[in-house]
């Protein structure tokens, strides 16, 4: 019996240990489980979404050791021991929205909201880069995340606003000024 309550048809199971949103989790699941399935069915985290199963739509994107990854394309076993961050991991410790999430909220960047967890993860990776790219560059970075509701403009607005806020904050707190200097 595995942690998703099922018996793998071929009987092969193994234990995978991941740190997810700062919390260590070990689950025994099918050896063939993708990271997406492991997170959803074995670990019970449903914010990464299944949208296409072939790495096109980005709804399942998570950060694996800081790098955005389509979790439907990697096996959980391949990333055993990794540090994984999902969209819910971008919240503040008290559960309130983090700064990037607040920008999404204020700019109406979610409509149906199904692509939003993946979009947030892609945006978080962009923000971690520390630069403030142009709108065109932000759009280019989002090419792996599909949205069918918003037309993308509000999402780009939100990411741009979050980057500018980060850059302002970096300037105020005496962080290296090169990022702030690029802000319009």
- Binding track over 63-92 against other proteins, x by CB under 8 A: -----------------------xxx--x-
Q: Decide: is 165 part of the binding site for other proteins (CB under 8 A).
A: no
Note whether 61 binds other proteins by CB under 8 A: no
- Residue closer to other proteins (CB basis): 48 or 132: 48
CA distance readout (Å), 7 to 15, 20, 38, 117, 118:
14, 24, 14, 29, 29
Shorter beta-carbon distance to other proteins: residue 57 or 167: 57
If one asks whether residue 94 binds other proteins (CB under 8 A), the answer comes out as no
- The verdict on 156 binding other proteins (CB under 8 A) reads yes
Among 19, 31, 50, 99, binds other proteins (CB under 8 A): 50
Q: Which of 16, 34, 21, 17 is nearest to 120 (CA)?
A: 21
Report how many residues bind other proteins under the rule CB under 8 A.
60
Radius of gyration of the chain from Cα atoms? 17
Question: Would you say 114 and 59 are in contact if contact means Cβ atoms under 8 Å apart?
Answer: yes
Q: Can you tell me whether residue 73 is helix, strand or coil?
A: coil
Does position 169 interact with other proteins (CB under 8 A)? The reply is no
Mapped onto helix, strand or coil, the DSSP state of residue 10 is: coil
Q: Would you say 145 and 137 are in contact if contact means Cβ atoms under 8 Å apart?
A: no
Candidates 96, 76, 75; CA nearest to 20 is 76
- Interface residue list for other proteins (CB under 8 A): 4-10, 30, 40-41, 46-47, 49-54, 56-57, 59, 86-88, 91, 95, 97, 101, 104-106, 108-117, 120, 135, 138-140, 142-143, 145-156
């Amino acid at each position: 019996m595995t942690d998703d309550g099922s018996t793998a048809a071929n009987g092969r199971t193994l234990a995978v240990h991941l740190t997810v949103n700062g919390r260590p989790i070990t689950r025994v699941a099918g050896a063939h489980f993708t990271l997406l399935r492991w997170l959803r069915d074995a670990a019970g985290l449903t914010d990464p979404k299944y949208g296409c199963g072939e790495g096109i739509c980005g709804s399942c994107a998570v950060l694996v050791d800081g790098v955005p990854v389509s979790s439907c394309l990697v096996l959980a076993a391949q990333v055993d021991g990794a540090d994984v961050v999902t969209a819910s991991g971008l919240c503040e410790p008290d559960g309130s929205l983090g700064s990037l999430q607040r920008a999404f909220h204020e700019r109406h960047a979610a409509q149906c909201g199904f692509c939003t967890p993946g979009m947030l993860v892609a945006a978080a990776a962009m923000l971690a880069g520390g630069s403030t790219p142009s709108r065109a560059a932000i759009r280019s970075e989002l090419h792996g995340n599909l949205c069918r509701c918003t037309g993308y403009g509000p999402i780009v607005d939100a990411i741009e606003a979050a980057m500018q806020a980060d850059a302002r904050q970096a300037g105020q707190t005496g962080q290296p000024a090169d990022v702030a200097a690029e802000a319009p």
